[in-house]
A = this chain, B = another copy of it.
């Protein structure tokens, strides 16, 4: 039995795992870089160990140091979260060698799913439909160009070791391909240490639909229905939902069985995701298996009632899955918005800093997984995801209405976030109808709509803003000494906005 788990991660997912551990009475052992010494996951863990400088390569990606720490702290198991070392087969194997349970698939399955090309070949054999593309890894741009030419533009450049949408670039012609190849290679190298890319046919008007699977060490495999993650920006998922508006019971059953088959083909263990693209005609194509817990796992939790992290731990300690496929019932509708610390009005530039007032949303059907708190810092060293807002509703429209509530209540002073974008999407007619595709943002010029809505909002609010300035200048006029004090305390007083002679 696992009685302590080292969490080889940070941010909201580390907190998520801590909450599951607590429910099970398991000790949570956190690790932290210099940058994270005051972070939420450190505060909430039972124990926390420093593992290195801010740069991920020297801390959260430092296999040797993390395993040493786990051993020293007496951790029975390691949960890798997502990102960082979560899909690193060497790490999984190293844990096993030290007698530490790795909460995730075995290294061997991970090697297979991590090698997108080999995995694709295996899927073909297992009668899982796959997407046309290069047969192997491509290291130079000329070869990439030849493959692209053969399968026809547009094509996608993907990191062979990537996942989660990182390191993916679209090329519509040779020029673009040559230009993007370098960027994609650099990103892949920065994120995963290796620059190897592969080329894949880019289908247009597609929807991203994935199936959550779980498999125990006795080979019991279940699928936990699908998630639709079509709302993306530059191949990064923005919004996920379950169920998909275009998947009915028949498709769910058929594709769920294919997902189970995919898991069996790689002798998968624990929780994983089988990702498909669905074209306009309703055909599904396998793209990859994500051999980890996904960012978007909460939407599946909300509609199935299962706790995926607790299920992961149960499977990791050898327990059998306790439910049959038929026991699972869809319960309502779930939507998740990823709240990133990026400025949507400035080309999504990263936004870092210390958070002031912080009020996260609450109320019926609302769940927030976040590491934010008043006084926390959002660092430029790591991912920009600062919160996930997950809502449940009896149906899609109730879930959507609740998401609007939650986005409105979300307050995190001091950083820019993608909330304005999500608000625009929630009000967009195509989104309301569930008419989604991976090019949804471009197709409907959502960013332009967002900017327009923002300008309207500012205009509507301008009289109140002017009133605030007038009121404060009046306060300052009547209490000049208070303002003076405040300025001495190195706070820039409102006084600066000027004086006037309004008699009241």
A interface list, Cβ under 8 A from B: 15-16, 19-20, 22-24, 44, 298, 301, 305-307, 331-332, 357-360, 362-370, 373-374, 394, 398, 401-402, 404-405, 408-409, 489
From B301, B362, B401, B405, give the contact of A360 (CB < 8 A). B362
Q: Are A405 and B19 in contact (CB under 8 A)?
A: yes
From B16, B19, B358, B363, give the contact of A19 (CB < 8 A). B363
- Assess A408 versus B22: contact at CB under 8 Å? Given A305-B332, A357-B374: yes
**What's the nearest-Cβ distance from chain B to residue A45, in Å?**
13
Q: How far is the CA of A198 from the CA of B331 in the complex (A)?
A: 46
Q: How far is the CA of A181 from the CA of B332 in the complex (A)?
A: 51
Q: How far is the CA of A398 from the CA of B362 in the complex (A)?
A: 21
Q: Are A305 and B394 in contact (CB under 8 A)?
A: yes
**What's the nearest-Cβ distance from chain B to residue A321, in Å?**
14
**What's the nearest-Cβ distance from chain B to residue A81, in Å?**
15
Report chain B residues within 8 Å CB of A15: 363
- Assess A307 versus B370: contact at CB under 8 Å? Given A22-B404, A22-B405, A23-B402: no
> Which secondary structure characterizes the binding site on chain A?
mixed
From B305, B373, B398, give the contact of A331 (CB < 8 A). B305
Report chain B residues within 8 Å CB of A368: 362
9 A-B interface contacts by CB (under 8 A) = A19-B364, A23-B401, A305-B332, A307-B365, A307-B398, A331-B331, A357-B374, A359-B374, A362-B369
Report chain B residues within 8 Å CB of A370: 362
Report chain B residues within 8 Å CB of A362: 360, 367-370
Report chain B residues within 8 Å CB of A408: 22
Q: Are B364 and A364 in contact (CB under 8 A)?
A: no
- Assess A363 versus B369: contact at CB under 8 Å? Given A22-B408, A23-B402, A331-B331: yes
Q: Are B373 and A405 in contact (CB under 8 A)?
A: no
Q: How far is the CA of A363 from the CA of B20 in the complex (A)?
A: 9
Q: How far is the CA of A398 from the CA of B20 in the complex (A)?
A: 11
**What's the nearest-Cβ distance from chain B to residue A24, in Å?**
8
Report chain B residues within 8 Å CB of A359: 373-374
Report chain B residues within 8 Å CB of A332: 305
Closest 3 CB pairs of A and B: A23-B401, A19-B363, A362-B368
Q: How far is the CA of A377 from the CA of B305 in the complex (A)?
A: 36
